[in-house]
A and B are shown apart, each in its own frame.
Chain A
Amino acid sequence: MIRADVIRAEFTPPGPGDFDLAPLFGGTYAFAKPGLQLILAGVLVFGFFALTSRRAAMVPGRLQFAGEQAYGFVRNSLARDIIGSQDFMKFVPYLVSLFFFVLINNLFGLVPFFQFPTFSKAGFAYGLAALTWILYNGVGIWKHGLAGYLKHQSVPGGVTGPILLLIVPLEFISNLLVRPITLALRLFANMFAGHLLLILFTLGGEYLLLESEQLLYKPVGAIAILLAIAISFLELLIQFLQAYVFTLLTAMYVQGALAEEH
């Protein structure tokens, strides 16, 4: 009797601690699974587009066609439609890489053996948002000059008089400081919450179904497992959507930095 009590494990609800993974190896350059996924995603994106464009032919083969469809999707529906046909080509390489890099990292959340969305670690999301922040500010300074760009981002058109004194710090902070933070937070929080939800439903379902001795809990556990599968499909949608939104907002910020004076 006592032994059975010892074996029966208490259910520990999943929490933020489940996101702290042990490093894969020791040493100075140690990193955990998310770090490996980040590198792997970079290799996959580079590999895919290198492979599909290496022997580019006038009449594309199946592989080249897939590559061109993927590239064309970001090029046309994000870069060209947002930034405009004048300047968009310069930003297409960054936007295409960004979209597929985020997408693959998000999809790792559902791929067996990985099953961890890389950007549910906030640090990676902040790093990625910093890249976008540097890009759109750099583009704006290149286009308007430093003083012109600061004026462009912090003085809204159509406002004159002393009220500007109140508006300028607000616009400055919202356009240059809050933007990268919300950009990173949106990606991180969506990935974090989705993954936590999945852990909860699978672990909770497994516990109710197999480990609790209350017979009535077992069907509830089965329902939880079924729901976990349903949530996985919802996650698939969110993972795609967040990659799209991140790239969309990057394109919007670039367009805003490039826009002519109001």
Chain B
Amino acid sequence: MARHDAPPSRAVDPWAAFGRLVAGVAIYGTIGWAGDSWLGTEVLLPVGIVIGAALGLWTTFLGLRQQ
């Protein structure tokens, strides 16, 4: 039983990466789209999607590095 007294293994939810990517693209894509329709431009949506995906990847990396 002694080996179970150790702190729990910091198991990683593999779907967290998916959630972060989807959330990043959804939020910053929406912000970009809103900016586009406000300013009448067409570049902010793709820029928002790329930024969101990049941030999602980066937070996934941070989360894994912490383990």
Contacts and interface: CB of A to CB of B under 8 A. Distances in A.
A178 B52 CA distance: 15
A82 interface: yes
B26 A83 contact: no
A223 interface: no
Interface string B19-37: 1101110110000000000
A182 B15 contact: yes
Nearest to B22: A178
Contact of A156 (B9, B11, B19, B59): B59
B40 interface: no
A83 B15 contact: no
A178 B19 contact: yes
A83 B66 CA distance: 18
Q: Which residue, B8, B15, B22, B51, has most C-beta atoms of chain A within 10 A?
A: B8
Given A174-B19, A178-B22, A167 B8 contact: no
Interface string A162-203: 000011011101110111001000100000000000000000
Given A84-B8, A156-B62, A158-B66, A170 B13 contact: no
Nearest to B62: A156
Interface in A116-175: 156-159, 166-167, 169-171, 173-175
Nearest to B15: A182
Interface residues of A, number: 30
Interface stretch (A41-49, A225-233, A251-259): A251-259
B50 interface: no
Query: Interface on chain A toward B: helix, strand, loop, or mixed SS?
Result: helix
Query: Interface on chain B toward A: helix, strand, loop, or mixed SS?
Result: helix
Contact of A178 (B23, B55, B59): B23
B23 A177 contact: yes
B8 A83 contact: yes
A167 B5 contact: no
A217 B5 CA distance: 63
A173 B27 contact: yes
Contacts of B43: none
A184 to B, nearest CB: 12
Contacts of A85: 4-5, 8
A178 B25 CA distance: 12
Contact of A166 (B8, B9, B55): B55
A153 to B, nearest CB: 12
Contact of B13 (A84, A158, A167, A249): A249
Nearest to A248: B11
Nearest to A251: B11
A188 to B, nearest CB: 15
Given A167-B59, A170-B20, A174-B20, 6 more contacts: A157-B66, A167-B55, A170-B56, A179-B19, A182-B19, A262-B66
The 6 closest A-B pairs by CB, nearest first: A84-B8, A174-B23, A174-B19, A178-B19, A173-B23, A174-B20
8 contacts: A85-B4, A156-B63, A166-B51, A171-B59, A173-B27, A178-B23, A179-B15, A249-B15
